[in-house]
């Protein structure tokens, strides 16, 4: 997959958020999007996810591609368990999906937390559920908006290992404020 973003612009209420953004992204790489708060990282992600339309510019290579995402907010269904939150977005409902979701979740979460409503989980646990959910669907590109928020160093390391393993050969676009994340991910730094 090759994603080419050319001259992308977006403004809200007259305030220019994205000013002629140009990017060239290729599968097999992890791109770390850096920039201060308000620099338009989330807006760019929303445009790529089709949630917001750009004012001008072009995005090539997105057509029919499967995109997955970790949103800035976790966007979990709070009344449902982590297992349900993962299986609900998997293409078909089967016992096999449950088993796969359970196995994946057990890698990053304590087993007792898998069957509790998401509303009872800590912020860090919810973040991990959101990350696993994004990596459990078939995808060609995954967008992660500040995925390491609320994670301690040890957990972050586990999560990074998991992300690298599950997204091998795919296009990964991650926004972060930490320079060290770029090294841990073996990522390519992009400034917005």
Partner 1 sequence: MNAGILRFKKAGIILFWLLIWQAASTAVHNSIILVGPLDVILALLNQIRLADFWKTIGFSFGKISLGFLSAFATGILAGGAACRYPLIGDFLSPLMALIKSVPVASFVILALIWAGSENLSVIIGFLVVFPIIYIQTIAGIKSTDRHLLEMADVFKMSETKRIFYLYRPALLPYLASSCRVALGLSWKSGIAAEVIGVPLHSIGEKLYLSKIYLSTADLFAWTLVIILLSALFESFFLWLLSLASPGIRQKKKEVGSIWNS
Summarize as ranges the residues that interact with partner 1 (CB under 8 A): 49-51, 67-69, 71, 73, 75, 77-80, 84, 88-89, 93, 117, 119-120, 133, 137
Nearer to partner 1, 71 or 148 (CB): 71
Furthest-apart CA atoms within the chain: distance in Å: 50
Q: Contact, 142 vs 66, CB < 8 A?
A: no
DSSP 90-122: SSS--HHHHHHHHHHHHHHS-GGGGGS-GGGS-
Nearer to partner 1, 23 or 89 (CB): 89
Nearer to partner 1, 16 or 79 (CB): 79
Q: How far apart are CA 148 and CA 159, in angstroms?
A: 8
Q: Contact, 155 vs 12, CB < 8 A?
A: no
CA-nearest of 128, 146, 124 to 39 is 146
From the CB of 180, what's the least distance to partner 1, in Å?
29
From the CB of 136, what's the least distance to partner 1, in Å?
10
From the CB of 175, what's the least distance to partner 1, in Å?
16
Nearer to partner 1, 67 or 184 (CB): 67
From the CB of 90, what's the least distance to partner 1, in Å?
9
């Amino acid at each position: 997959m090759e994603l080419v973003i050319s001259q992308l612009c977006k403004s809200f209420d007259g305030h220019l958020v994205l000013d002629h953004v140009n990017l060239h992204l290729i599968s097999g790489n992890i791109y770390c999007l850096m920039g201060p708060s308000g620099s338009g990282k989330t807006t760019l992600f929303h445009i790529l996810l089709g949630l917001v339309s750009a004012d001008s510019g072009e995005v090539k290579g997105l057509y029919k591609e499967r995109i997955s995402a970790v949103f800035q907010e976790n966007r979990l269904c709070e009344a449902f368990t982590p297992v349900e939150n993962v299986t609900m977005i998997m293409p078909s409902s089967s016992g096999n999906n449950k088993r796969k979701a359970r196995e994946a979740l057990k890698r990053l979460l304590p087993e007792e937390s898998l069957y509790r409503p998401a509303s009872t989980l800590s912020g860090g646990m919810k973040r991990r559920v959101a990350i696993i959910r994004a990596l459990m669907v078939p995808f060609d590109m995954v967008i992660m908006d500040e995925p390491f928020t609320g994670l301690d160093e040890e957990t972050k390391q586990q999560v990074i290992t998991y992300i690298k393993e599950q997204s091998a050969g795919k296009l990964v676009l991650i926004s972060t404020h930490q320079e060290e994340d770029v090294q841990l991910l073996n990522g390519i730094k992009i400034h917005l």
